[in-house]
Amino acid sequence: MITSIKQAAFRNFKKSETKRHELNYLFWECTTRCNLNCLHCGSDCKKDSTHPDMPLNDFLSALDSIPSPPKHFTVAISGGEPLLRNDLELCGREIRKRGMRWGIVSNGHLYNQERHISLLNAGMGSLTISLDGMEGSHNWLRNAKNSFEKVDYAIGLAAGSKRLNFDVVTCVNKKNIHQLPQIRAYLVSKGVKAWRLFTIIPIGRAKNIPDLILSGPEFKNLMDFIVQKREENTLDIKFSCEGYVGDYESKVRDTPFFCRAGINIGSILIDGSISACPNIDRSFTQGNIYNNNFYQTWQTKFEPFRNRSWTKKGMCADCKNYRDCQGNGFHNWHGEKNEVLVCHKSKLESAKV
């Protein structure tokens, strides 16, 4: 009974949030240059990107089109590797001048003490660093033999700051799923407070590497691990918002599944494209800051994000959980978009058989 009330209330909440579509989280793909060549990269970043970094003023012009950003509006600076930009601190200061908050998603390689201090000075309030296993499996996925050593140092610095909202993200795959207890113990020993676990969807370079994709039973093990460790309360551990996980919904995250791409989350991509999360198929681009007013585009377009009825096809067509899932995470629709790329719920169901 209580579960039904909660579910109904949450569906209503989603509906009202969708109607309201307040932009309060903006990705900025400030560069596609990267100092790594990770096996699972969804954006196929390169060391010598064909796109030049987006000039700060171009981004700021788009930001300035937002008439009254809500309190705690967050700009998540991503890449590529944002630390490759020497003007990152300047970018951050300009964002703060506009009353907004900012943070970066980094592989941690260039995160040293000097940069840590200059970024904090510039008002950085949040940081996410990727750690994809203990030394061997992390270096394998990151395709670099000294990556673990560097990220270990970066995690130590970041975890020591009381100011930062810092979390570590891990892409769980066949090579590291057996290390999860070990990784958790390592993070606790480093003083990390929050850990987010992902799986890898078969896009970009990842689609050609079978070792990256978890089987149904492995995915169920991941869910069980998260449930068990959330009860222990030592570390805030959660599954990312990448997909709907059926019976595990209330157990692996703080809130039920709600893909907010295009509802609260927007993005400005390297070529000026206006979209939602950067890993979403680029055919969903809604405009371009070099041709369109950013905020007007946010307010008037984004129909496929705010009305997801078009996803009710393929295996989603007859799914009894469609009202709660609505086609899974938006980034699971690529290419011809005739079928959802990954259905987490059916993956879990396959593990029961």
Partner 1 sequence: MKRNWRRGIIGGLSFSSALFIFQACYGTPQDFQPDLLVEGQVTSKTSGLPIKGVKVSVEDFMQYQFTDEKGNFSFYTEWMDSLTIQFADIDSTENDSFSDKNTLVINPGDSVNLEIILEEK
Q: What is the DSSP letter of 309?
A: G
* Separation between Cα atoms, residue 327 and residue 306, nearest integer Å: 12
Report 166-185 residues binding partner 1 (CB under 8 A). 166-167, 169
| Least gap, CB of 279 to partner 1 (angstroms) | 6
**Candidates 3-11, 52-60, 135-143, 340-348; binding stretch for partner 1 (CB under 8 A):** 3-11
> Using an 8 Å Cβ cutoff, are 141 and 154 in contact?
no
Classify residue 7 as left (phi > 0), alpha (psi -120 to 50) or beta: alpha
Q: Which of 137, 170, 173, 279 binds partner 1 (CB under 8 A)?
A: 279
| 12 contributes a contact to partner 1 by CB under 8 A | yes
What is the C-alpha separation between 348 and 249, in angstroms, rounded?
Answer: 12
Identify the residue whose tokens are 């995470």.
329
Q: Does 258 interact with partner 1 (rule: CB under 8 A)?
A: yes
CA angle 70, 18, 23 (to 5 degrees): 25
Least distance to partner 1, CB of residue 143, Å: 19
Q: How far is the CB of 226 from partner 1 (least distance, A)?
A: 15
Find all residues with CB under 8 Å of 308, minimum gap 6, and list them: 326, 327, 330
Q: Which residues contact 290 (CB under 8 A, 6 or more apart)?
A: 58, 272
Spell out, one character per residue from 98 to 117, where the chain touches partner 1: x when CB under 8 A holds, - when not: ---xxxxx-------x--xx
Residues in contact with partner 1, counted by CB under 8 A, come to a total of 60
Q: Is 286 in the site for partner 1 (CB under 8 A)?
A: no
Question: Contact region for partner 1 (CB under 8 A) — 119-127, 139-147, 211-219, 343-351?
Answer: 119-127
Torsion of the alpha carbons at 177, 182, 183 and 185, rounded to the nearest 10:
150
d(CA 167, CA 126): 8
Answer yes or no whether residue 242 interacts with partner 1 by CB under 8 A.
yes
Measured CA to CA in angstroms, residue 290 lies from 53, 79, 268 at distances of 14, 19, 11
Stretch that binds partner 1, among 139-147, 227-235, 257-265, 342-350 (CB under 8 A): 257-265
Contacting partner 1 (CB under 8 A), which of 162, 208, 318, 352?
162
Task: Please state the closest distance from residue 166 (CB atom) to partner 1, in A.
Answer: 8
* 257-277 exposure pattern, b = at least 16 Cβ within 10 A, e = fewer: bbbbbbbbbbbbbbbbbbbbb
Residue 278 in contact with partner 1, rule: CB under 8 A = yes
| Site membership for partner 1, residue 200 (CB under 8 A) | no
Residue 280 token pair: 């979403």
What secondary structure letter does DSSP report for 168?
E
What's phi and psi for 236, nearest 5 deg?
-75, 100
Among 32, 74, 170, 292, binds partner 1 (CB under 8 A): 74
Q: Please tell me whether residue 96 binds partner 1 under the rule CB under 8 A.
A: yes
What are the residues binding partner 1 (CB under 8 A)?
Answer: 5-7, 9-10, 12-13, 16-17, 20, 25, 27, 72, 74, 76, 78, 96, 101-105, 113, 116-117, 120-123, 125-128, 160-163, 165-167, 169, 194, 196, 198, 240-242, 254-256, 258, 260-261, 264-265, 277-279, 329, 331
